[in-house]
Structure 1
Amino acid sequence: MGQKEVCTSSENEVEDFNSIGKCAKDNFKKSKETEFVKISSRKRVVRRRISSSILNLRKSVKKSSPRKLSILEIDQIPLFENCSLTSSRDEQQICFNNQIKHHINSNLKYPASAFKNGLEDHVLAEFVINEKGEVSDVNIISSKKHQILEDEAKRLISSLPKLLPAKHNGKVTKMKHRVYVNFNLLNHRIKQF
């Protein structure tokens, strides 16, 4: 019965966007345009069963590996030798950031080939200060992907001195942190003179 239906509506008239009727099919066949929109009203739901052994494994992994907290989440931030343990948290954080900047500025060695080729970049270094106060898990993110600059940033961050570790709820903990290493030719030329 539906096949005998005759299309009487105009080409621009759309009655219901969720259904495709005979008029839409006829208009599509008559149309010489190459663009079209595929409309689907069917939703597909994929359900996956998780076995109890997988759930138990997930729980044990969460318990065994403590979450790495950021500098804003911990009670006491990691401290360099020059920073005072008795000062306020804000002063400790300022000292921590200043010591990292000082370390980067005084130990940055602009790679000769990068300097010669005029390579510049703003490299993000993500790292963890572990329970011993040592830097670990250094990850470098760079927009321009100059490997030589990424390697120098990794070397620079890995060479940070041992710190007094972070504490949270009275326990020594890991802390994740991010810092930018700026490879700027103008700043480097000024330092040389």
Structure 2
Amino acid sequence: MAELLDRTGPTPAAQATDPEAELPAGAEIRVLEAVQQTIATPPVVGTARAMSLFGEHAAGWLALGLLGAAVDRQRRREWLTATAGVALAHGASIGVKRVVRRRRPDHPSVQVLVGTPSRLSFPSAHATSTAAAAVLYGRLLGTPLTGAVVPPMALSRLVLGVHYPSDVAVGSALGVAVALLTGRLTRREVAR
């Protein structure tokens, strides 16, 4: 009997207790399939890979914040605080990833089109840091950036097959929440 189980995989009871044996909701896989089948052309994949490189460890967003601090000397402190908020958002997403430990998509119908620094998926750190940067930098620039930069970054993670839709949705929400908290703390500090 044990030999039979070894050949057929874990028992249903073992699957229920083993988080790695759990499969993600079929709807999320179908969304990933649809995104990849519909828009994952070579130019789109190339752009998504460039966005992935820009957003890795929030490096591109952090560099833009530091550039803002260097160029806008009158508001250097505000730019540095906003940049710290982006770093905090990225750190928060990494912390949540390590607690939740959801694995990245691994399904025969989903192609993984870029390397990742870890196997952990939830939430998307790219979406988190992008949303935080959009809110914080947009406020400093006096231009709403969220609608312009968050959806493309979130979609790029699906195109590349490295995140589930819920990963990017929760990552975006986490980034906005950290940005709003950063803004609130900054206003309190200025009021003192």
When normalised by structure 2's length, the TM-score is 0.24
- Structure with greater proportional strand content: 1
- RCO (CA 8 Å, sep 6+): is it higher in 1 or 2? 2
- Structure with greater proportional helix content: 2
